[in-house]
Amino acid sequence: MANKSPEPTGMHSPEISDEDIFAAMKEIPGYLDITPGDFKEVYHLAWRHARERLLRAAKAREIMTREVAKVKADTPLKDVAVLMAQRAVSGVPVVDDANRVVGVISEKDFLRSMSAGGITSFMGVVAQCLQEKGCKALGIRKGKAADLMSTPAVTVAEDTQVLEIIKLFKEKGINRVPVLDTQGRLSGIVSRGDLLNLATFRGGGAL
Amino acid sequence: MKYFRKMRGTTKSPPRVSLAEMAWSWLGAFLGILAVALINDKFLDGTAQVMLIGSFGASAVLIYGAIKSPLAQPRNLLGGHVISAIIGVSVYKLFPGALWLAAPLAVATAIAVMHATRTLHPPGGATALIAVIGGTKIHALGYFYVVAPVGLGAAIMLAVALLVNNIPKTRSYPEYWV
């Protein structure tokens, strides 16, 4: 099969053996005028078309998580961290009183503020803590969400195509994107996990 | 070298069909050829007309033995035979004195035109060839060869295929008409 990029990982058709096809052909009564090898080729190509059709057709609205963990600009960072830990998410949108997204705060923003030299990995921070006998996390204790959040927030509309969202993730290096309704208010969030569910046809019930 | 490696093949042969499938294939082919052969021997004996030609044996393999194949569908059966017959007769009329040229030209052109019209039916190649090398009786028919034996014979065999292939629960014919 030809390589086609850009392509998200984990989306190749399940490996199918000549024996699988042979067994399937035996189950169908009558002579099938096709070799197992040809069928395999058709199968792989058809799978790719099906996947592209689903990705192209799917909109943010259909795959987004609606129960969004979110914070306000003046939420203490301590509470932000607690919320993110409780909900087991790696980032939350920051909204104003009208539920409009003003920024996004993520693990990366925390890590960056907790380390010197722009380290944004957990192990990077651990390494620094161990080397310098002290953790810089305490320095942001009094901070608020507004101090760390990334602005302006990258957002999408409810009818943005999933393929566009995948491109956005790659281009901006982000892991989630808040979804806005037509009035510009937060209505959901699409994370890499949501995309993975679609890519493997889970959750959508197609497989 | 890739060119020679391709000659080794890449996959295996499809499975053997069930005994029932073999029996239905046998019955369909027997009745289909029987119908055409009876007309040939009982009604046309002693006339200038023939009804049974060799390519019908090949059609029987497909329309009674491989009924799911695109090559075996009515469009291909009728279209392939009729188009190939027209080409065969035309090529013979163009080169009546050079069968060594007319024969390959008729077959090759028949295949190309069947492809172009999405009516590929392997026995069509034989139908085109028979128009060229079928002897004086075939040559004497001229373009009537297209109507009978070719068109009429294929239609009779199609009728038998429709009647027989749809009797067993596990069989259904055709897959499509056009």
Residue B33 vs residues A62, B40, B156: alpha-carbon distances, Å: 58, 10, 9
What's the confidence (pLDDT) of residue A125? 76
Q: Are strands A101-106 and A186-191 parallel, antiparallel or unpaired?
A: unpaired
A chain contacts of residue B64, beta-carbon cutoff 8 Å: none
Cβ contact A18–B70 (<8 Å): no
Whole-angstrom distance, CA of residue B84 vs CA of residue B133: 14
Higher pLDDT, B132 or A130: B132
What's the confidence (pLDDT) of residue A8? 43
How large is the average pLDDT for residues B34-52? 89
Cβ contact A22–B171 (<8 Å): no
What's the confidence (pLDDT) of residue A11? 46
Q: Could you tell me if A33 lies within 8 Å of chain B, comparing CB atoms?
A: yes
Q: Which CATH superfamily is domain A61-199 in?
A: CBS-domain (3.10.580.10)
- Name every residue whose Cβ is closer than 8 Å to that of residue A178 and which is 6 or more positions away in sequence: A68, A93, A101, A104, A153, A155, A156, A186, A188, A189
Q: What is the residue-averaged pLDDT of chain B? A: 95
Dump pLDDT digits (tens) for B55-83. 999 999 999 999 999 999 999 999 999 99
Q: Could you tell me if A27 lies within 8 Å of chain B, comparing CB atoms?
A: no
Q: For the complex shown, is ipTM > 0.85?
A: no
Start-end ranges of CATH 3.10.580.10 in chain A?
A: 61-199
Whole-angstrom distance, CA of residue B128 vs CA of residue B114: 11
Per-residue pLDDT of chain A in tens (207 residues, 90 and over written 9)? 344 444 444 445 567 888 888 888 888 888 888 888 888 889 989 888 887 787 778 888 888 888 899 999 889 888 898 999 998 888 899 999 989 999 999 888 888 777 766 667 778 777 777 777 666 666 677 788 888 888 888 899 998 988 889 889 999 888 889 999 988 899 999 988 888 877 665 544 333
Q: Could you tell me if A118 lies within 8 Å of chain B, comparing CB atoms?
A: no
Name the minimum distance, in Å, from the CA of B15 to any CA of chain A: 6
Nearest C-alpha neighbor of B55 from the set B112, B106, B116, B113 = B106
Sign of CA dihedral A110, A116, A117, A123: negative
B chain contacts of residue A33, beta-carbon cutoff 8 Å: 66, 68-72
Residue B127 vs residues A80, B55, B77, B79: alpha-carbon distances, Å: 81, 6, 11, 12
Cβ contact B11–A30 (<8 Å): no
Report the residue of chain A nearest B170, measured CA to CA. Answer: A29
Cβ contact B13–A35 (<8 Å): yes
Name the residue among A29, A36, A37 with its Cβ closest to that of B170.
Answer: A29
Side-chain-facing half-sphere of B118: CA atoms under 13 Å: 6
Name the residue among B15, B66, B170 with its Cβ closest to that of A26.
Answer: B15
Cβ contact B18–A18 (<8 Å): no
Name the residue among B15, B170, B171 with its Cβ closest to that of A25.
Answer: B15
Q: Could you tell me if A35 lies within 8 Å of chain B, comparing CB atoms?
A: yes
SS3 (DSSP) at A59: strand
Q: Are B178 and B75 in contact (CB under 8 A)?
A: yes
Residue A110 amino acid letter: F
Cβ contact B68–A25 (<8 Å): no
Q: Are B33 and B65 in contact (CB under 8 A)?
A: no
Q: Are strands A176-180 and A156-157 parallel, antiparallel or unpaired?
A: parallel
Name the residue among A30, A31, A36 with its Cβ closest to that of B11.
Answer: A36
Q: How many CB atoms lie within 10 A of CB B27?
A: 16
Sign of CA dihedral A138, A142, A145, A147: negative
Q: In chain A, what is the greatest distance between 2 CA atoms, to the nearest angstrom?
A: 75
Whole-angstrom distance, CA of residue B17 vs CA of residue A207: 30
Least confident of A24-38, B45-59, B113-127: A24-38
Report the residue of chain A nearest B24, measured CA to CA. Answer: A30
Domain residue ranges in chain B? 20-165
How large is the average pLDDT for residues B41-58? 89
